[in-house]
Every structure is written in structure tokens, then in C-alpha cells.
Structure 1
Amino acid sequence: MSGLLIESITEGGIASEMGIEPGDRIISINGHVLKDIIDYHYWNDGDHLLIEIEKPDGSLWECDIEGGDENSLGIVIPAPKPAHCKNKCIFCFVHQLPKGLRKTLYVKDEDYRLSFIYGNYVTLANVSKSDLLRIKKQRLSPLYISVHATDPVLREELLGKQGITPIMEVMADLAASGIKMHTQIVLCPGINDGDAFKKTVADLVALYPQVASIAIVPVGLTSHRKGLAVVEPVTAAYAALFINELEPEMKRLAKELGEPVLFLADEFYLKANVPFPAMSLYGDFPQLENGVGMIPLFRQEAMKVLKKARMLGEGKAIIVTGFSAYNELGQFLSELSAKTGLSLDVVAVKNNLFGPSVTVTGLVAGRDIIKALDGAESGALIVIPDVMLKEGEGVFLDDLTTGDIERALNVRTLVVESSPQGLYAGLKRQFLKKGNKN
């Protein structure tokens, strides 16, 4: 069907007053035919808008609007359905998933529009010339790009696809048009490290400031790599050596460019069990969602929470987490317990779904929580970080819900924001006695 489906209408907005309803479709704005939500926002600009609407019965309306803007219109357009990825990356996490998960988890997306809207990483290996023209014309910036290697032959090997336009040609073109880019390199030991890695970093730095950040992330491997290329894991020894070699370069570039540009994911430091760098080496945390700087920020916020934490009375809670965050969270909970009077235990959940090498909290499944807490005291309070659940739906990766955990273990559950403040706020709501002014 043509046009953009209207998902909802804000009550009291111009659209509502004009009789525009959910289920209607926007065909064009000021004569510009709309393909997706990006077009809607791009052309929805100016003091005068002529919006063509198609009603469900096929009738066409022309709505002449003076002095409107996106907020006053009150029209909500859904995000586009993602374009599917045609790459066969040797480290693709989707290819390593076990059976029996939600169907949406098996969908590989590679869509520059979602990179612009949500910050999803894309390789741009499947982008067309018309796509690139649109990115430049509509200034879809910033974009988040998975580079992995700038050597064309090596990159094709990593992405499992031949005939790709060299990434540096694409990124140089985007940079010349003023598009800002955040980049990542998934590091595969023995494949894209060494001299190839040095070349990749040097090539990307040459496009600074349009290449605003470079994050190095260790390859993630599960126990379900049947029939896939052999990829070695990032071990503790490898991580320690890599940190030792890269940190001087991180500092050199930060000094030379005036701001940090090259970053290592927290997982390197956790694996190697070495101190994190100074907060100044994280800048404004441009790669936080990519796991860069989350632990240093956690520590900073934990200190603030502990300063203001007060007694909450008697109570017990068990907080579940992944193994990678266990020590950090355990230290914070020990100090928080002393400040609040609560008995706070932390349980690291072994990842049986993906395999023990996957230790991040966000990939913990409901069944694994049930197994880890087998024998928990009846009626116990189980605190679950929200990062374990699908946003807006409250389900784990294996489709279990907190209700399933409550029934299986005869416990209570409390979902909290995955941060020191979120945890303290959740406990405060749960245990604070009436009349206590904390």
C-alpha cells in the first residue's frame, strides 16, 4: 500500500482537530511523496503544509495547515521495517543463536535508516548509490558503522560477502558531505588484529572529525557455532596484552586531536582484570550503548548513591546478574547493604542458553535464572535488572516472564533500572517504611 500508516494521534493536536485518525495514511507533504518516517520528518518543515491523506475507504483528503510543526500536528508514524542483512559475517551473533527463541531474534537487520534513528550498527555493505545520495541530501547524521577492517579483501572475508565497495570510499564520500560517523571494530584474534588493525585505526582517524569515535569490541562467541568459521575468543591474557598495547595510542590520539576518539569496550578490562583508564579518556561517552564506559560510569554513580543512601529498615533481596558484572555489583551491594540495613545478596547466573563464555547481564534467560535460584526461600524477593527484559514487553530472551519465575520458584520479583540509582530507587520503593523521610 502507498503512503505512511498513521499509528496514533495525539489528543488536542492539529491532526486530531482536523479529523485525521489512526489507520489513515499520509501520501505526501507539499507534493513530496513519503517513503518512511525519515521523509515525514524531513519534509514536515515550514510554515505552510499541504498534507494529502488517504482514508481507509480510499477517499483522499487535502489538509491545508498554517503554522504547524511536528509537535503541534500530533501525528505518530511507526519506524520502518528493517531491511534484512545479506552479509554472512564470520562472527555474526544471530548465526550462533540456539533454537527456541523469539522469532524476531533471528532477524538480521542492516538498515541505514535504523542506524540514524536508533543508533544501530550497519556495515553499509548493502547500501545502494541512491541510498547514499539520500543520506547526504537529508543529512542522516550521525550514522553508526561496523567497519571491522578497512583492507577490502580482509573486510570481504569478515563480512562473508564479495564485491563490496571499499568502506573507505563510502566513508570518505559521507565525510566530505558532513556526515558524522561512529564506528566499531569487532576484534577477532589472529584475523583483524596486528598490522591490519593498525591500518584500520589509522584509516579511520584520517577521517576525523567526521569519524567521531572508534570502539574496539571483543568478538562474542556462543556454544552454538556449528558449521561456522573457526574464530578464537579474546582470552584474559590476550585482553591484557591488547590493553597494554592500545592504551598509549588512545592517550596519544586524545592529546593530538584534543578529545578521545579511540575506545576499548569494558569487556576487555573485565576479562583482563586490570584497572580501567581515567574518566577523561571516555570524553562524553559516545560509545556507551556499545559497552564502552559503562563500568566507570557505574562506579561514579554508585559513589553518589552511597553518599545519599539511608536506612530502609529490615528486608532481604536477591539481585541476579551476569558473571561479567558480578564483582562490580557485589561490591556496590555490600556497601549499600551497610548503608540501608537491608540484606542484599547477588547471584551470578550461568548462561546455559548461549554457553558459559557469554557473561553479560543483558543475555541472561529466564530459565537460567530459575535454575540458578533453585532452592531459594519461599516468598523471597528477586530483583531483576530491566536490561534482561525486552523493552515494553517484559519478556526474557526465551519468552519467559517474571510471572513464570514467580510461579516456578514461589518468589516475588522486582524489576529495576540497570543502574545504581535505579537499584536503590527500586529497593527504596519496596522497603521504605511509612513516615521515614528518605
Structure 2
Amino acid sequence: MEWFNVLGIVVTVTAFASYVNQRFLKLPSSIGVMVFALALSLVHILWHQYGMMTEGTPFVDIDVADKVLGTIDFQTLVLNFMLGLLLFAGAVAIDVDELASEKWPVAAMAVIGTLVSTFGVGYLTWWLFSSTGADVDLIYCLLFGALISPTDPIAVLGIMRNACVPKKIELRVAGESLFNDGISVATFLILLGMAGGTSELTASSVVGIVGREMVGGVLFGLLIGSIATRMLDRSEEDELKILITLALVMGGYALASVLEVSAPLAIVIAGLLVGRRRAFNHVDEHGRLSPTATFWKLIDHVLNMLLFVLLGLEMIAIKFLFSDLLQGIAVIPVVLVARFLGILVSRMFHGVRRAFRLRTVFFMTWAGLRGGVSVALALSLPDWLHRDRVISVTYCVVVFSIVFQGLTISDFARWLRRCEAREDPSIVGHEADAEAGERA
């Protein structure tokens, strides 16, 4: 099937899912379209499994979904196209000065928390599989830990905006989700090389990969962000500004990949530099954003909806076994426990402890949503013995994370605000105003 036909089908399904969600389901937009797509996938699987539709049915071809998903290279689409655009859209919308005030908690969670979670998931999953009789090498479990530990910036930024979360907590979780991709990808590459026998775990190799990915990504992001900012300051037409930002994201992401530095980290840094310009997020006297900011807000919304629909439809392409489904359900609490430990360890560092009260640790654990990045990394694994199992377990964790955790974040946030209000009654009015603004 031609790619433009596939695009047309996916956009149509996304628009219909968004409409059904707005009129009937009334769930948060990202969750609603994914639930709709999951329902479509389940119906498709039941048709094939139990023959609820015959091959000669004239009004529908039950193989359309297989043809569409067979044309889509999900991991390439997410990691090489959507991720850069969505990271930039999220970064330009963040107040850099406010984020700077939370720099130590964000840095601790993005680096230390992600590493602790990676090895925590790896060892706990290895013990779980071994106790159930599944013969899985530790290196594969660590590889799973690397791909499932980073919180997905697309899922987090999309859902946190509607959760009425206290501002400082939102900044920590959002900032962590933007920055932890660099360390997680570097860890993933190291473990992938070890699993394939192409590299050994040595101090020099770890320092080399992490240094190239993270430091190189930051420096490259500062370079292209500074160039783009100077060009934007000297441009008058809104159409040209939009084109410059598009070139920054798409061209910068591609060049970062060629240079073998962290493309996601580079785009986040560049986005923060561009978003820091007052003219970018300027609101006029009529309450309207600048055309460039409006364009990226639209890109953020449309690509989010497309990605969550694709995540729901991807269930059709995954080869689920009943044993994999049970293991996926069993791994969900393991991932949550490992994230809790990661945040708890991050809390121990100087200057960070006071920013992480225990109830905040519980909330951040639940708010650590996984999404398309984890699924894309799982699909990028070579065709090894346990690849299908890793993909199935990853998908189970992602679906639980987005649907169940995503739907209950608002309730958790209200509990967190009530706790803080009891200690500091002066924040009650502020938080009430913020919640009313979010609902509006």
C-alpha cells in the first residue's frame, strides 16, 4: 500500500477517534484516541481469531489494518521523525527561568533516577522471569530496563497539562522527561552492543558513548539553537520564522544523527533557546499567541493524536502469547517499584532532598508515563530469541501507563494539592485559580 494512502487512513481514523472521544468518551484527548484505537485493534483480532467476519464480506476488508501497519515502520517514524518535532514543541512551551529553578531535581531524576531504574528493572525482571521458569539472560532484562525506564516526553507533556498538577512538580516531571532520553539511549546502545557481542563493558567505552551522546548533544543543540535564534531575530515574516524552526528541528535532528550525538537532547536544548525569546511565546492584546507558537502548538496536538492512535493500532502487529501477557502484567509493578527507587535515590543528593518530599516521590512515580519511545526502541531490537517477548511486555507496560496511570493522575494531583494546602493554606486560592484556568 502506498504511503500517502496509509497516511490518509491514519489521519481519518485519528480524526474520527478524536470526535468520538470528544462527544462520547470525554477522556483526555491522548488517552481517548488510544482507547478507541485499542478497541479497533481488539475487534480486528477477534474477527481473525474467531471468524466473526467471513472473507467474502463485501463492505470491509479485514486485512486493511495489516496492510496499513505493514507499510508503517513504527520505530523509524517515531524515533527519526515524530520525536524531534514533539520534543521541540514541548521545549519551546516551557519557561526556561522556571525550569532553571528546578535544575538540580530535574538533573538528578534524569541521570541518576534513570540509571537506578534501568538496573532495578533489569535485575527485578530477571528474578521474576527466572522464578517463573522463563530462561532469559540478564543482559536482555537490562536491555528491557534501559528502554522502559525513561519517561516518555510525548505522553508526559500531553497528559500533565490537563492534570492540574502543582507547577513545581509539573516542571520536574516535564523537565525529566525531556532530558532523560540522552542517558537512556546511551545506556541502551551500550547494553545492545554487549548483548550482540560487538562491545565490552569497559570504563572507557561507557565514558566515550555517554560523553559523545550527552555532551555532544548539548553542545550541538546550543550551536544550532543560537544560529536559529539569530536568524529569527532578523526575520520579519511569520512564514519565514516557521520555516526556520522547521529546518532547525528536521535538519538539526538529521545532522545530529550523522554526527552520532544525541539528537533528542540537541533538539530539546535548541527548543529551550528558541522558546526563551520573548517574541516566540508573545501574547497580543487579544490574547492570541504568535503565529509561530500557534503553528508548533498545532503540530504538538496533531502529532500527539496520530502517535497515540498508532500506539493503539500497533497491538495488531504484535505477536502476543498468553504467557507474554501474564509476564507483562507481572512486570508492571516491577517498573513502578524501580522508578520509585530511582526517584528515592535521586532525593538523597545535596540540595535535592528538600525538593522531594515522600508524597512527591509517590506522585512522580505514578506520573512517570511510558509511551511511543519505549515501543519504538523495543521494535528496533534485532531479531533475537526474546525480541517478541520484550516487545509484548513493553507494550503491556505502555498501555497500562498511558490508560490507567494517565486517567488517575488528576486524582493523584488533587490529593497532592490538599496535602500541601494543609501545610500552607496560602496556596489554596492560587491552586484553585490554576485548576479553574485548566478546566476553562
Regarding TM over 0.5, the answer is no
Structure with bigger RCO (C-alpha 8 Å, 6+ apart): 2
| TM-score, structure 1 as length reference | 0.26
User: Which protein has the larger Cα radius of gyration, Structure 1 or Structure 2?
Assistant: 1
| TM-score, structure 2 as length reference | 0.26
